[in-house]
C-alpha cells in the first residue's frame, strides 16, 4: 500500500484541519439543529453519540474517503473470511469467527473450516462451567467447588476479569477470582480465606510458556498440597486453556480439563474463546452465549453497514482525526459504573498492544503517529482525580463516556452518576467564560458518549466488539498489523539473564545504572 500520508485523501484532511481551525463544537451545535440526529447511531441497546466532536459532515466524508483509500472495506472482508491478515505470524484473526452462531457458513483458514474446532472447544468449556456451577463436577469428597481462581496474564486475564466484574449481577453461586501478577501478593490475596479442597484453578495461557503464569501455577499447586489435597486428587483441581495442549499436559492437566483456543486468536481478542472460562463459570453458559450473540451483532453491523453509518469505523476514524490531525496523544475511557472498572485496562491492552506499531505491513517505517495512549478510570471517581487536566490542562484528550441507564442500583445512584457523565461531556464541549483566568474553561474539548440501555451480557458483547473493530479500523488506515505483538514477546525473555544474577549467578555486563541496581538488590535481599 502507498504511504497513506502521501495520498490525496490524507492531504485533503490536513487542509480541512487548517480550514476549520476556527470553528468550535459549540458553533456547530448552534448552526446545526439536527446535529445529534445525524451524529449518533444505535445498535440494539447501545447508542453512540459522536456529535460532540470537532467534525462536520464534510469531515466525516473526508475520513470515509481516507478509509476507502486505505482499502478498509476490503481489509474488513479479509478478516471476516479468515484470510491470513496477521502477516508477520502468517495467521488469520479469528475473534469474529468465535462469535458466529451455529448456522453460520464455514470460515476457511488455509483451506480448512475452523468453525468445528471452535465450536467443539467452546461447548466443552461451557459444559465444564455448567457442571462446576451445578456441582456435577465435584472434588474427591463429592463436594461442589466453591471458588475458581483464574491464573493468566495480559489477554489471558484482562478480558475475563473485566467481563466477570461487569456482569456481577448475573453471577451464579461459584465465586471467581483472578491472579495475574507474579509478585505473589495478588495470588495470596486471591487465595485468602479459600478452602483448598473446594478451589479449582483455571490456567489460561495461549503459549503455556508465560513465566508469570507458570510461577503462579506452581505456587497454586503447592498451596493445594499444603492444604491437604493429595497427589492423586490434584488433576481434579485444575483446568487449562491453551493453544499448546502438550505443554498443559506436561503440567499435569487431565485431557478432559484441557480446552483449546485457536492460534489465530490473539490473547487480547480471546475472551470469546475458552479463555472466557472464568466468565462462563461466573455467569453460566446461557449468559455467555448472550455475550457471544452481542459480539456477533456488532460484527454483523461492522461487516455490512456503509462506512458513514458504521459505528466502529466512525469512532476509529474520529480517533485518527485527533491523533493524526490535531496532535492528540491519548484517548481516555471513562465508564460511569463500578461494574466496568476493569474496562480501561482491558481496552488499554486491546488498543496499545494492537496499535503500538511503527512499521507497516510490508515492514516500512510508518510516516505518521499510530496508536493512542489509552487510559481512563471509572466515573465519578475520575472527576475527583484527573478531570482537572481534561477541563483546563494544555493537552487535547478526547474522551469516551460510557453510561449505563439500567443497573441493579437504586434509581438515585444511577441518575446521579449519569447526570455527572452528561454534565462533564457538556462542560468539556461548552466551556465557561469568566473574568478570572483561573476560572475560565475554553471548552471545545471533544467526547463520545456510549449510552447503554442495560449492562447485560448481550450489550457487554456489543461494547467489547465495538472497541475491537475500532482498533482494527485505525490499523487498516495506518497499514499496520493489529494482531501481532513482537514488542512484548521480546519482553518475555528480557528478565531471564538478570533473574539468574539476582538468584546468585555470575555477574553479566550491564550499563552502570543497571549493574548498581542489581548489586544493591542483592545486598539488601533478605532471603539471599
Ligand atoms: O504480554 C504479551 C502477551 O503475549 C500478550 O499478548 C498475551 O495476552 C499475554 O502475553 C499472555 O500470553 P499467554 O496467553 O501466552 O500466557
- The alpha carbon of 208 and the centre of ligand 1 are apart by a number of angstroms equal to 9
d(CA 97, CA 273): 10
Q: How confident is the model at residue 64 (pLDDT cuts 50, 70, 90)?
A: very high
- The alpha carbon of 511 and the centre of ligand 1 are apart by a number of angstroms equal to 28
What is the average pLDDT value for the chain, to the nearest integer? 97
Same domain, 271 and 395: no
The residue contributing the CA closest to ligand 1 atom 9 is: 154
Same domain, 278 and 328: no
pLDDT of residue 527: 79
Considering the domain boundaries, does residue 59 fall inside one? yes
pLDDT of residue 469: 99
C-alpha cell at 468: 475491537
- The alpha carbon of 154 and the centre of ligand 1 are apart by a number of angstroms equal to 5
Considering the domain boundaries, does residue 294 fall inside one? no
- The alpha carbon of 207 and the centre of ligand 1 are apart by a number of angstroms equal to 8
Supply the CATH number for residue 373's domain.
3.40.50.10490
Residue 135 has pLDDT above 70, yes or no: yes
As a whole number, mean pLDDT of residues 293-300 equals 98
C-alpha cell at 506: 555470575
Q: How many CB atoms lie within 10 A of CB 516?
A: 11
pLDDT tens digits, residue range 301-316?
Answer: 999 999 999 999 999 9
Residue 344 has pLDDT above 70, yes or no: yes
Same domain, 19 and 145: no
As a whole number, mean pLDDT of residues 38-42 equals 98
Same domain, 192 and 100: yes
pLDDT of residue 528: 65
Q: How many CB atoms lie within 10 A of CB 344?
A: 21
| Contact (CB, 8 A) for 79 and 60 | no
d(CA 323, CA 445): 14
d(CA 217, CA 250): 13
d(CA 511, CA 528): 23
pLDDT of residue 68: 98
Same domain, 193 and 322: no
Considering the domain boundaries, does residue 467 fall inside one? yes
Domain termination site, one of 286, 318, 341: 286
pLDDT tens digits, residue range 421-478?
Answer: 999 999 999 999 999 999 999 999 999 999 999 999 999 999 999 999 999 999 999 9
Same domain, 477 and 505: no
Q: Which atom of ligand 1 approaches the CA of 275 most closely?
A: 14
As a whole number, mean pLDDT of residues 55-59 equals 98
pLDDT of residue 462: 98
Range of the domain at 450: 8-70+305-484
Q: At what angle do helices 8-19 and 57-69 cross, to 10 degrees?
A: 160
pLDDT of residue 489: 78
pLDDT of residue 235: 97
Q: How confident is the model at residue 145 (pLDDT cuts 50, 70, 90)?
A: very high
Q: CB under 6 Å to ligand 1: residues?
A: 153-156, 205-207, 210, 213, 267-268, 353, 485, 488
The residue contributing the CA closest to ligand 1 atom 8 is: 155
Give the closest residue to 239 by CA, choosing from 211, 282, 204.
204
Considering the domain boundaries, does residue 199 fall inside one? yes
Q: Pick left, alpha or beta for residue 431 (phi over 0 → left; psi -120 to 50 → alpha; otherwise beta).
A: left
pLDDT tens digits, residue range 156-186?
Answer: 999 999 999 999 999 999 999 999 999 999 9
Sign of CA dihedral 254, 255, 261, 266: positive
- Best residue among 156, 275, 349 to mutate for probing ligand 1's pocket (most ligand atoms within 8 Å of CB) is 156
pLDDT of residue 75: 98
Q: Which atom of ligand 1 approaches the CA of 270 most closely?
A: 8
Name the domain count of the chain.
3
- The alpha carbon of 210 and the centre of ligand 1 are apart by a number of angstroms equal to 7
Considering the domain boundaries, does residue 196 fall inside one? yes
pLDDT tens digits, residue range 462-493?
Answer: 999 999 999 999 999 999 999 999 988 777 77
- The alpha carbon of 152 and the centre of ligand 1 are apart by a number of angstroms equal to 8
Same domain, 196 and 270: yes
As a whole number, mean pLDDT of residues 64-76 equals 98
| Contact (CB, 8 A) for 348 and 400 | no
Same domain, 318 and 462: yes
- Catalytically active residues are 353, 384, 492
Query: Cα torsion for 469, 448, 404, 34, to the nearest 10°?
Result: -110
For 115, residues 6+ apart whose C-beta sits below 8 A from its C-beta are 97, 100, 104, 106, 107
Domain termination site, one of 259, 286, 313: 286
Considering the domain boundaries, does residue 514 fall inside one? yes
For 498, how many CA atoms within 13 A lie in the half-sphere containing its CB? 15
The residue contributing the CA closest to ligand 1 atom 16 is: 205
| Contact (CB, 8 A) for 138 and 144 | yes
pLDDT of residue 357: 98
Sign of CA dihedral 122, 126, 127, 129: positive
For 334, residues 6+ apart whose C-beta sits below 8 A from its C-beta are 344, 376, 377, 378, 379, 382, 399, 400, 401, 402, 421
Sign of CA dihedral 54, 59, 60, 66: negative
Same domain, 352 and 480: yes
Residue 2 has pLDDT above 90, yes or no: no
pLDDT tens digits, residue range 225-261?
Answer: 999 999 999 999 999 999 999 999 999 999 999 999 9
- Best residue among 95, 161, 205, 207 to mutate for probing ligand 1's pocket (most ligand atoms within 8 Å of CB) is 207
Same domain, 419 and 275: no
Domain termination site, one of 252, 286, 320: 286
Considering the domain boundaries, does residue 77 fall inside one? no
Same domain, 52 and 201: no
Residue found by looking up cell 475458581 in the block? 148
The residue contributing the CA closest to ligand 1 atom 10 is: 154
Residue 110 has pLDDT above 90, yes or no: no
- Best residue among 150, 152, 155, 471 to mutate for probing ligand 1's pocket (most ligand atoms within 8 Å of CB) is 155
Same domain, 24 and 157: no
The residue contributing the CA closest to ligand 1 atom 2 is: 488
The residue contributing the CA closest to ligand 1 atom 5 is: 154
Considering the domain boundaries, does residue 76 fall inside one? no
Amino acid at each position: 500500500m502507498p504511504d497513506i500520508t502521501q495520498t490525496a485523501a490524507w492531504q485533503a484532511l490536513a487542509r480541512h484541519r487548517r480550514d476549520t481551525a476556527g470553528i468550535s463544537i459549540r458553533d456547530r451545535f448552534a448552526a446545526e439543529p439536527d446535529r445529534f440526529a445525524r451524529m449518533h447511531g444505535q445498535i440494539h441497546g447501545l447508542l453512540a453519540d459522536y456529535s460532540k466532536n470537532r467534525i462536520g459532515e464534510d469531515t466525516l466524508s473526508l475520513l470515509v474517503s481516507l478509509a476507502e483509500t486505505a482499502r478498509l472495506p476490503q481489509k474488513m472482508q479479509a478478516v471476516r473470511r479468515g484470510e491470513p491478515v496477521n502477516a508477520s505470524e502468517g495467521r488469520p484473526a479469528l475473534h469474529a469467527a468465535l462469535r458466529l452462531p451455529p448456522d453460520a457458513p464455514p470460515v476457511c483458514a488455509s483451506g480448512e473450516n475452523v468453525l468445528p474446532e471452535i465450536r467443539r472447544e467452546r461447548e466443552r468449556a461451557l459444559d465444564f462451567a455448567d457442571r462446576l456451577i451445578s456441582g456435577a463436577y465435584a472434588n474427591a469428597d463429592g463436594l461442589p467447588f466453591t471458588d475458581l481462581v483464574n491464573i493468566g496474564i495480559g489477554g489471558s486475564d484482562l478480558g475475563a476479569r473485566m467481563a466477570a466484574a461487569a456482569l456481577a449481577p448475573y453471577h451464579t453461586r461459584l465465586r471467581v477470582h483472578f491472579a495475574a501478577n507474579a509478585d505473589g501478593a495478588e495470588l495470596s490475596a486471591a487465595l485468602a480465606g479459600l478452602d483448598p479442597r473446594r478451589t479449582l484453578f483455571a490456567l489460561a495461557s495461549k503459549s503455556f510458556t508465560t513465566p508469570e503464569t507458570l510461577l503462579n501455577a506452581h505456587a497454586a499447586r503447592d498451596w493445594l498440597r499444603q492444604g491437604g489435597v493429595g497427589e492423586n486428587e490434584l488433576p481434579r483441581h485444575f483446568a487449562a486453556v491453551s493453544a499448546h495442549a502438550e505443554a498443559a499436559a506436561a503440567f499435569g492437566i487431565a485431557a478432559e480439563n484441557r480446552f483449546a483456543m485457536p492460534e489465530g486468536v490473539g490473547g487480547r481478542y480471546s475472551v470469546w474463546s475458552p479463555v472466557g472460562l472464568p466468565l462462563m463459570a461466573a455467569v453460566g453458559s446461557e449468559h455467555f452465549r448472550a455475550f457471544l450473540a452481542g459480539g456477533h451483532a456488532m460484527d454483523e453491523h461492522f461487516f455490512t453497514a456503509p462506512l458513514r453509518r458504521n459505528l466502529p469505523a466512525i469512532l476509529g476514524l474520529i480517533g485518527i482525526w485527533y491523533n493524526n490531525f490535531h496532535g492528540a496523544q491519548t484517548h481516555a475511557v471513562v465508564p460511569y459504573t463500578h461494574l466496568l472498572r476493569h474496562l480501561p485496562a482491558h481496552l488499554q491492552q486491546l488498543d496499545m498492544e494492537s496499535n503500538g506499531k511503527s512499521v507497516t505491513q510490508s515492514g516500512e517505517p510508518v510516516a505518521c503517529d499510530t496508536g493512542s495512549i489509552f487510559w481512563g478510570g471509572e466515573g465519578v471517581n475520575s472527576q475527583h482525580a484527573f478531570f482537572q487536566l481534561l477541563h483546563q490542562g494544555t493537552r487535547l484528550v478526547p474522551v469516551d463516556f460510557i453510561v449505563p441507564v439500567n443497573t441493579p442500583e437504586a434509581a438515585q445512584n444511577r441518575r446521579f452518576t449519569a447526570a455527572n457523565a452528561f454534565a462533564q461531556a457538556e462542560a468539556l464541549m461548552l466551556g465557561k467564560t469568566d473574568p478570572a483566568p483561573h476560572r475560565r474553561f475554553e471548552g471545545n474539548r471533544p467526547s463520545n458518549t456510549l449510552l447503554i440501555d442495560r449492562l447485560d451480557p448481550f450489550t457487554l458483547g456489543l461494547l467489547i466488539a465495538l472497541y475491537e473493530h475500532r482498533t482494527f479500523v485505525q490499523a487498516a488506515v495506518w497499514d499496520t498489523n493489529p494482531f501481532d505483538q513482537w514488542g512484548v514477546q521480546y519482553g518475555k525473555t528480557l528478565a531471564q539473564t538478570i533473574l539468574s544474577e539476582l538468584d546468585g549467578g555470575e555477574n553479566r555486563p550491564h550499563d552502570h545504572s543497571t549493574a548498581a541496581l542489581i548489586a544493591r538488590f542483592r545486598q539488601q535481599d533478605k532471603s539471599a
